[in-house]
Amino acid sequence: MRIVNVVAAVIKEGNKIFATQRGYGELKGCWEFPGGKIESGETLEEALKREIKEELDIIIEVGELLDTIEYDYPTFHLSMSCFVCKIVSGSYVLKEHYDAKWLTKNELRDVDWLPADIELIDKIDILLNEDVLS
Ligand SMILES: Nc1nc2c([nH]c(=O)n2[C@H]2C[C@H](O)[C@@H](COP(=O)(O)OP(=O)(O)OP(=O)(O)O)O2)c(=O)[nH]1
C-alpha cells in the first residue's frame, strides 16, 4: 500500500490547542491538525514550518514529538508525526481551511476529527492535564 508521510502541528497556547476544519477533498468538513506532506529533502521541522506558513500565514516553533500515528485509510497508509508547537509570530489567516477553533480539554471531543486523529486525542488530553497540575 502507498505510504503517505505527513507532519502535523498540535499548536498549544495556555490550556488550549488549535484545530482546523478541512476545506477541500474527500475528507472535507472533518477536523484535523494543520500540516501536510513532507517534500523530498526537507526535515520534519522544515516541512511543518513551511506547511503552517502556507496554510495559516504564521511562524511556529516546533517542540517535542507527541506521537507518530500509523493509520490505514482504504487507499493509503498514513504515517503522521505530530509535534507540540507554539506560535512565534503572526495572527492566523485561514488560507485553505473552512474554520478553526481553540479547544480546551473539555471540548477536545466535540469536533468530528479525521479518523486517524482519534488516538492522538487521548495523548493531547494528558498533555492538557499536565498543565492543570503544573
Ligand atoms: N494535516 C493533517 N493531515 C491529516 C490529519 N489526519 C489525517 O488523517 N490526515 C491525512 C489527510 C491527508 O490524506 C494527509 C495530509 O495531506 P495534505 O494535508 O497534504 O492533504 P491532501 O491529501 O489534501 O494533499 P494535497 O492534495 O494538498 O497534496 O493526511 C491531520 O490531523 N492533519
pLDDT in tens, 91-106: 999 999 999 999 999 9
88 C-alpha vs ligand 1 centroid, how far in Å?
Answer: 23
How large is the ipTM?
0.92
**What percent of the chain shows pLDDT beyond 70?**
97
Domain boundaries, the chain: 3-133
Pocket of ligand 1 contains residue 36 by CB under 6 Å: yes
CATH number given to 3-133: 3.90.79.10
- Calculate the CA 111 to chain-centre distance: 14
Pocket of ligand 1 contains residue 120 by CB under 6 Å: no
Pocket of ligand 1 contains residue 8 by CB under 6 Å: yes
Pocket of ligand 1 contains residue 100 by CB under 6 Å: no
CB 33 within 8 A of CB 6: no
CB 120 within 8 A of CB 66: yes
Tens of pLDDT, residues 20-46: 999 988 899 999 999 999 999 999 999
What pTM was computed for the model? 0.94
